[in-house]
Structure 1
Amino acid sequence: MVEARAPEDGAAPLRILLLEDSDLDAELLGAVLEDADLAVALDRVISRDAFAAATAAGCHDIILADYVLPAFDGMSALAMARAHCPEIPFVFVSGTLGEDVAVEALKNGATDYVTKQRLDRLPRVILRALSEARAHVLRRQAEQALRDLNESLEQRVAERTRELAEANTALQHQIAERERIEDALRQAQRLEAVGQLTSGVAHDFNNLLTVIAGNIEFLERAVFDDRSRRRLEMMRGAAERGARLTAQLLAFSRRQKLEPVPVQLNRTVASMRDLLQSSMGGSSRIEMTLQPDLWPALVDATQIELIILNLAINARDAMAVGGCLTIETANVRLTSPPARVEEPNPGEYAMVAVSDTGTGIPAEVLARVFEPFFTTKEVGKGSGLGLAQVYGFAKQSGGGVRIDTRVGEGTSVRVYLPRAAGEAALHELRPALADVSLARDASDKRVVLVVDDDSAVRDITTTRLAEAGYAVREAGSGLAAIQALEADAAVDLAVLDFAMPGMNGVEVATVIRSRWPAIQILFVTGYADHTALSQVDVGGDDRVVQKPFRGEDLERKVASILERRPRLTLVAGGAGR
């Protein structure tokens, strides 16, 4: 190793790897560097292996190499240096390096070249090469720092973007939740306001109807001519219809009188299959999915049957021929708060669902379906109280209602009823004997219930029967007739119109046959479907009166049915306790 003095005290000498086979040229090169006041430490190698080991170590500041060597050439040394330590400057120092070779060497990665005839240039070349190398290192470090900064910046931007996206998502969720709560609050306030209004109206109407019905009763005691008594009977029928209407309003406003008992909904649904199939009229099939271990529901047994029947009729009206009505029961544990005011609170419920494959409910209609008197059906096809009654019943029972619907695919109405606690005996709706003779004197008139949705036709029918000496009650729909019989089943004969919206005459007759079998049936129709009538054992043509009435055909058939049968003990729908 050849040491040259340092230009300044404490300066680290330049570490030079010298590839030179000539001792004289090596001494001359060291002398030139010493004369230039460069403090250097020369590591001289001659062989390929020594050069390879030195370049692999990478501990030098610059490489000086002869071009012509006995063991291998300078271009091979350049290639080896670029492979092992590409950042170290490589300078050729040769006496035979021509211009073409020098250009080729620079193309292959050499930093510079110096001829041995001009060694005076060597110090400047070394310093320039080292300066360029340091600049290159600094530039590379700056570029790397910039890349690191960009990557860090991109990462920070990505993280910040993600944070902002998460915050925006949370904000959107909060906004949506707030809007949902506000909508639910507005709906609750609207339904509560309507409920208070209907409750007040129903209360006032009940007071008015009480006065009207009471005075009718007083007048009946004082009036003896048939015409006046017939008019009083018509007034009594109108008062009874008003009472049934107010009962539906009270159901919506959750003011009706309920008698909740533990009920096994599976038995209730299964017992209604024939009635529901009759209500479908053969246009839709019925499927039932009943959970075997269903919890008993704490509910009014009579009302739940009307609720299921009401929902089934709504489903039928929403479906075309060939649709499917599905009734499902299930045990449900709810943990989430209700999304809408009609939905139940968290808790355990016995659920009954009525689903159809009908037209579905548009969003603007869904927002109002529980409002009383709101209906999308044609005039005379629906009162708009069906779902309002379902809502009021479910809420007053301690449960709730949920509607899942998709336009064009169908609707599912789920009624959640509170689970009955303890091991209370299950309530079953079974016939209860009611002796009509105990309710009326032997001299009282026979009672006929006239059911027809056409008020003008109903007026004609009730007038003729009243003039014939019968006590007449009337109802404007099948559901109204069933509700009237539940309130008072002391009826000898039901005169049913066949074609009615909602429940037709055959469907009403099916219910009467199953719950009040002692009540006789007579159909009044202008185009009776005898195939449908054959579903009910009506006793042939003597139980069907064609419209318009011919002579005294109506009175004759009513008399024939009632006079040939004694007053028997009547089986009325009731709660067996």
Structure 2
Amino acid sequence: MIGPCAGPLHILHLEDSDLDAELIEAELEKLDHPVVIERVMTRDAFAAAAQPGRHDIILADYVLPTFDGVSALGIAREQCPDIPFIFCSGTLGEDVAVEALKNGATDYVTKQRLDRMSRTVLRALAEAQGRAEKRAAEDALQALNETLETRIAERTRELAEANAELKRQIGERERVEEALRLNQRLEAVGQLTSGVAHDFNNLLTVIAGNIEFLERAVADERSRRRLNMMRGAAERGANLTAQLLAFSRRQRLEPTPVGLNETVAAMRDLLQSSIGGAVQIETTLQTDLWPALVDATQIELVILNLAINARDAMAVGGRLTVETANVIVTGPPTRPEQPQPGEYVMVSVSDTGTGMAPEVLSRVFEPFFTTKEVGKGSGLGLAQVFGFVKQSGGGIRIDTVLGEGTSIKVYLPRVERDGAAVRSAPVPVDCNVAHPPGSAARLLVVDDDAEVREVTTTRLSEAGYEVREAASGLQALAALEVDPCVDLVVLDFAMPGMNGAEAAIEIQNRWPGIPVLFVTGFADTTALTQAGAVGADAIVLKPFRDGELERKVASALGSPSRRCDCSATARWRCTSSICSPSRCSTISACGRHCSTA
């Protein structure tokens, strides 16, 4: 306790003799440590001075005129029990000293042996320090014991939370990995189906075209019936490829503002007749529903498709609920089919049927996957819904409980807040090639498939057009370089090397007056829009149906917006009487009807 860095030693000294006090103080100076001594001689003075933390040690005479050491010991043990108490008396016998120690004194020194004072004080201080340290350790141990259970519980809770967080992170990682695998699988299947659909549409175009040619040459009724059967099979094949293209997000959509409440209300009778009287139909329609930006025809097919699936899940009847709502999605998607954060118009179809098992739910959007009996489902229904919704910029959420039912929520983008639909800006067209009276329009047919090209050129030739051919986008450009006098380019979209969209952009950059009509088995609508395809009349789908090719070619050639555009300030003069005023803005604007002024 006494060391080079310690403060002065504070001593309370109870002594009535000045001489003895001086002798004792002289001995204390031998401690080789600063000492501060407070001397008292009466009970009151001692009681006032004996306070906790005020002194380091108490020295007391045993016999005083008005006071005695035993009483002083009692006061000290009551008021400051932790301070060492040493008797220092000349009349203290052995019996009295032993009694004093029993009563709580730390030690004693006789005045005849004051040379023992320094050692006694140091020993008393060391013992006091030991007792203090022991008491502190005991207090700490007691506090530790008292808080041990609490700390164990707290640590257990922390470990449980850490374990739960670790499990959550592992589960989240597994969920993300599974979602990634599912998305990659759907993307791979989508690419495969779109490629198959394109090639299949080319085959169907050849089949359907030649069936049409044969029908003109066949006279007997039996052969015509067989040709009708073949044409029906080709049309069913075309419908199948249309479903595949819907899944792979390659179908052509015309998004417009649509009120889904009106759509659902108008479809009620159709839904009831499609699912039968055993199923009760209920509708829950939000009154202030936002308009959805969606293809009106396709969303009707989606609702009907979901309703038929719900009917099939309710073998003995039940309840089908169609609901609409405005929804704001905030969290990120946990599965590929779910919507990204944003504002959506939601339409849901719920049933009270059998529900889906987890292994079914994980594959429900894959093409040709079905749990129905053979012959009762193609497995393309939900795949088609998935492709349409994702291509429209929305998402799907499926909530299902095995044995209780399923709810399929379709999220569709809302029209912008100002009420205007988000549409792609039309690509401006300068003009169309004009024709002198009586001349046949000249067409350039571009398709890499020779058989498809032969069907296309035959049909157009029979329709009265003068037809030229090219087997690729580069061949088309080369043909136009030699002779740009073409009234219309009939252009296949999917071709190796330069595809139809790229060829169309190059044609419009170099010959802006030549219109382009796309023929395709599947198409990236964004690429087609950028290439100049505006509206349904700019695209002919393979296989050709009911004179659609001839009708859209005639429409493209006769569009008033593509007439010859002449300008009085340009250097080209129009030689045809249908051009007015007499000058054309570019030589390509009026094609063969322009010459230098």
> Contact conserved, 2:333 with 2:339, CA < 8 A, in 1?
yes
What amino acid sits opposite 1:197 in the alignment?
L
> Contact conserved, 2:27 with 2:114, CA < 8 A, in 1?
no
Instruction: Label 1:114 to 1:365 Cα distance change in 2 as closer, same or farther (>3 A).
Output: same
C-alpha distance in 2, partners of 1:242/1:233? Answer: 14
Is the counterpart of residue 396 in structure 1 residue 388 in structure 2? no
Match of 2:408 in 1: 413
1:241-280, aligned counterparts within 5 Å? 241-280=236-275
The Cα offsets for residues 239-274 of structure 1, whole Å up to 9 and x where unpaired, read as 222222122112112222333222100111122233
C-alpha distance in 2, partners of 1:264/1:12? Answer: 90
C-alpha distance in 2, partners of 1:384/1:160? Answer: 53
Is the counterpart of residue 31 in structure 1 residue 23 in structure 2? yes
C-alpha distance in 2, partners of 1:387/1:89? Answer: 92
Identify the match of residue 355 of structure 2 among 360, 365, 383. 360
Secondary structure of 2:51's counterpart equals helix
> Contact conserved, 1:264 with 1:296, CA < 8 A, in 2?
yes
C-alpha distance in 1, partners of 2:104/2:374? Answer: 97
1:387 Cα shift? 0.6
Instruction: Label 1:97 to 1:65 Cα distance change in 2 as closer, same or farther (>3 A).
Output: farther
Instruction: Label 1:246 to 1:51 Cα distance change in 2 as closer, same or farther (>3 A).
Output: same
The Cα offsets for residues 290-312 of structure 1, whole Å up to 9 and x where unpaired, read as 22121111222222112112112
Identify the match of residue 77 of structure 1 among 68, 72, 79. 72
> Contact conserved, 1:92 with 1:110, CA < 8 A, in 2?
yes
Secondary structure of 1:378's counterpart equals coil
Q: Compute the RMSD of aligned alpha carbons.
A: 4.7
- Comparing 88-97 and 176-185, the one that deviates more: 176-185
C-alpha distance in 1, partners of 2:273/2:51? Answer: 98
Match of 1:386 in 2: 381
Match of 1:198 in 2: 193
1:385 Cα shift? 0.5
Match of 2:305 in 1: 310
Match of 1:527 in 2: none
C-alpha distance in 1, partners of 2:314/2:68? Answer: 96
Is the counterpart of residue 49 in structure 1 residue 44 in structure 2? yes
The Cα offsets for residues 42-88 of structure 1, whole Å up to 9 and x where unpaired, read as 54434332112111274433212355677776555334324443442
C-alpha distance in 2, partners of 1:92/1:29? Answer: 13
Match of 1:325 in 2: 320
Is the counterpart of residue 90 in structure 1 residue 90 in structure 2? no
What amino acid sits opposite 2:321 in the alignment?
T
C-alpha distance in 2, partners of 1:392/1:335? Answer: 23
> Contact conserved, 1:359 with 1:407, CA < 8 A, in 2?
yes
What amino acid sits opposite 1:239 in the alignment?
A
What amino acid sits opposite 1:295 in the alignment?
W
1:166 Cα shift? 10
Secondary structure of 1:272's counterpart equals helix
> Contact conserved, 1:286 with 1:326, CA < 8 A, in 2?
yes
Q: Percent identity?
A: 72
C-alpha distance in 2, partners of 1:131/1:420? Answer: 88
C-alpha distance in 2, partners of 1:176/1:117? Answer: 86
Instruction: Label 1:289 to 1:13 Cα distance change in 2 as closer, same or farther (>3 A).
Output: closer
> Contact conserved, 1:58 with 1:84, CA < 8 A, in 2?
no
What amino acid sits opposite 2:368 in the alignment?
F
C-alpha distance in 2, partners of 1:28/1:135? Answer: 30
Q: TM-score, normalised by structure 2?
A: 0.56
> Contact conserved, 1:361 with 1:406, CA < 8 A, in 2?
yes
C-alpha distance in 1, partners of 2:281/2:65? Answer: 104
Instruction: Label 1:313 to 1:85 Cα distance change in 2 as closer, same or farther (>3 A).
Output: same
Match of 1:187 in 2: 182
> Contact conserved, 1:67 with 1:97, CA < 8 A, in 2?
no
1:417 Cα shift? 1.8
1:513-532, aligned counterparts within 5 Å? none
Instruction: Label 1:31 to 1:355 Cα distance change in 2 as closer, same or farther (>3 A).
Output: same
C-alpha distance in 1, partners of 2:19/2:317? Answer: 111
C-alpha distance in 2, partners of 1:185/1:13? Answer: 76
Instruction: Label 1:41 to 1:248 Cα distance change in 2 as closer, same or farther (>3 A).
Output: closer
1:195 Cα shift? 1.7
Instruction: Label 1:205 to 1:41 Cα distance change in 2 as closer, same or farther (>3 A).
Output: closer
Instruction: Label 1:205 to 1:138 Cα distance change in 2 as closer, same or farther (>3 A).
Output: closer
C-alpha distance in 2, partners of 1:259/1:189? Answer: 27
The Cα offsets for residues 546-571 of structure 1, whole Å up to 9 and x where unpaired, read as xxxxxxxxxxxxxxxxxxxxxxxxxx
The Cα offsets for residues 407-463 of structure 1, whole Å up to 9 and x where unpaired, read as 4554332212222345469xxxxxxxxxxxxxxxxxxxxxxxxxxxxxxxxxxxxxx
- Comparing 105-114 and 191-200, the one that deviates more: 105-114
Structure 1 residue runs of 5 or longer lacking an equivalent are: 1-10, 149-158, 426-486, 489-577
Instruction: Label 1:223 to 1:108 Cα distance change in 2 as closer, same or farther (>3 A).
Output: farther
What amino acid sits opposite 1:267 in the alignment?
E
The Cα offsets for residues 190-209 of structure 1, whole Å up to 9 and x where unpaired, read as 22222222222222222332
1:386 Cα shift? 0.8
- Comparing 179-188 and 290-299, the one that deviates more: 179-188
C-alpha distance in 1, partners of 2:81/2:371? Answer: 86
1:291-306, aligned counterparts within 5 Å? 291-306=286-301
> Contact conserved, 1:102 with 1:113, CA < 8 A, in 2?
no
Is the counterpart of residue 129 in structure 1 residue 124 in structure 2? yes
Secondary structure of 1:195's counterpart equals helix
C-alpha distance in 2, partners of 1:79/1:316? Answer: 98
1:459-498, aligned counterparts within 5 Å? none
C-alpha distance in 2, partners of 1:194/1:73? Answer: 107
1:170-181, aligned counterparts within 5 Å? none
C-alpha distance in 1, partners of 2:96/2:275? Answer: 104
- Comparing 120-129 and 371-380, the one that deviates more: 120-129
C-alpha distance in 2, partners of 1:55/1:49? Answer: 10
Identify the match of residue 202 of structure 2 among 198, 203, 207. 207
C-alpha distance in 1, partners of 2:271/2:101? Answer: 99
> Contact conserved, 2:324 with 2:345, CA < 8 A, in 1?
yes
> Contact conserved, 1:33 with 1:123, CA < 8 A, in 2?
no
Is the counterpart of residue 230 in structure 1 residue 225 in structure 2? yes
The Cα offsets for residues 87-122 of structure 1, whole Å up to 9 and x where unpaired, read as 42112346467759846x546643123467876655
Structure 2 residue runs of 5 or longer lacking an equivalent are: 1-5, 144-153, 422-544, 547-597
C-alpha distance in 2, partners of 1:106/1:357? Answer: 92
What amino acid sits opposite 2:373 in the alignment?
E
Instruction: Label 1:181 to 1:15 Cα distance change in 2 as closer, same or farther (>3 A).
Output: closer
Secondary structure of 1:315's counterpart equals helix
Match of 1:377 in 2: 372
What amino acid sits opposite 2:253 in the alignment?
L
Is the counterpart of residue 18 in structure 1 residue 13 in structure 2? yes
Secondary structure of 2:252's counterpart equals coil
C-alpha distance in 2, partners of 1:277/1:79? Answer: 103
The Cα offsets for residues 384-423 of structure 1, whole Å up to 9 and x where unpaired, read as 1011010111122232223233445543322122223454
> Contact conserved, 1:286 with 1:325, CA < 8 A, in 2?
yes
C-alpha distance in 2, partners of 1:322/1:101? Answer: 106
Q: TM-score, normalised by structure 1?
A: 0.58
Instruction: Label 1:99 to 1:319 Cα distance change in 2 as closer, same or farther (>3 A).
Output: farther
1:383 Cα shift? 1.2
> Contact conserved, 2:86 with 2:105, CA < 8 A, in 1?
yes
Instruction: Label 1:90 to 1:307 Cα distance change in 2 as closer, same or farther (>3 A).
Output: same
Instruction: Label 1:131 to 1:398 Cα distance change in 2 as closer, same or farther (>3 A).
Output: closer
